[in-house]
Structure 1
């Protein structure tokens, strides 16, 4: 297991047992044009989709009941960015580029959504680097002034989760307000 994933597992007191067979990650590029970061792939294979402290949700291209483990799961995952969130953020950018300073998939190097909070904050990867392990996390914090709502974290997915739980990030401090909730709860 990757060191960063092991660190998260230790923090969450999780067993290092995969939730099921690994997803067919090798099909993702052909299915949706995206190769996912290695730390995210291993995290999802180990823990599945879920929530940190019932506050921060982590989405996954997970096979829902009745679906097959083919490329469709990856297309459905990326459609959250392309069809659901993308138009909203593109409209903001068209109104004023400062309101959404990043492109969104399917634009080259665009943001790819991977999760959000119960308060409506949204988390993405910025896919501008050809190496998915170099994709920084970009957050949009709902409730902030729209011109100050974006924050780029120059760290990988799992490192971001550990960072968010450290208590050092003022924007992620609400995550710590749920101490009686399980550290990690699988939702898929």
Structure 2
């Protein structure tokens, strides 16, 4: 592995992608609507694999799919937290500086988020909220680094662990889309 994990490192762990999306329009339209630019490493991964289920646990969103649609998930997220006052995670949901928005959810009740950089000197971070207890954990890592730790089940003490869902190693399934 390289100093920082790359897409090729993720592909080596997960296997060859089949989605292979090439039209930038869904990304640029969503970025224009939200006023952000998604992390390039996440975009590359999502374009290669699409909306997938990793290890029968982690569902990844993509902006061009009807189901598991990234834009829809981002727009709906703030509404999911409106009625929760007690034990609310210490974050703001949205796409503004310092806010978080979802890019995946798990079968074990966690949701993965990106934390938008506060300014040009700040880096993207990955955050996970355990929805049953509202525990917020932030990782000062790129998407590639976080995903590599998840897929490789590294000792990163991630809030979402692949160990029990993929004891024989990482795998993915393409998620169905309407015909």
TM-score of Structure 1 vs Structure 2, range by shorter chain = 0.7 to 0.9
Of 176-185 and 37-46, deviating more is 176-185
Match of 1:87 in 2: 79
Q: CA deviation at 1:7?
A: 0.5
SS in 2 for 1:99: coil
Structure 2 distance, partners of 1:170, 1:60, is 23
Match of 1:21 in 2: 22
5+ long unaligned stretches in structure 1: 66-75
Q: CA deviation at 1:87?
A: 2.5
Structure 2 distance, partners of 1:115, 1:10, is 21
Pair 1:152 & 2:138 matched? yes
CA 1:153–1:90 in 2, change beyond 3 Å: closer, same or farther? Answer: farther
Structure 2 distance, partners of 1:166, 1:81, is 27
Structure 1 residues 110-129: Cα deviation after superposition (integer angstroms, max 9, x where no partner): 21110110122111111133
Match of 2:159 in 1: 171
Let me know the Cα RMSD of the aligned residues. 3.0
Pair 1:161 & 2:163 matched? no
Q: CA deviation at 1:107?
A: 5.0
CA 1:5–1:33 in 2, change beyond 3 Å: closer, same or farther? Answer: same
Structure 1 distance, partners of 2:12, 2:114, is 24
Structure 2 distance, partners of 1:32, 1:100, is 22
CA 1:22–1:181 in 2, change beyond 3 Å: closer, same or farther? Answer: farther
5+ long unaligned stretches in structure 2: none
Higher percent of residues as helix? 1
Q: CA deviation at 1:156?
A: 1.2
Match of 1:40 in 2: 42
TM-score, normalised via structure 1 length: 0.74
CA 1:184–1:10 in 2, change beyond 3 Å: closer, same or farther? Answer: same
Structure 1 distance, partners of 2:124, 2:79, is 22
TM-score, normalised via structure 2 length: 0.77
Q: CA deviation at 1:154?
A: 0.7
Given that residues 92 and 99 in structure 2 are in contact (C-alpha distance below 8 angstroms), is that contact kept between their aligned partners in structure 1?
yes
Q: CA deviation at 1:140?
A: 0.3
Pair 1:185 & 2:178 matched? no
Q: CA deviation at 1:23?
A: 3.0
Moved over 6 A (4+): none
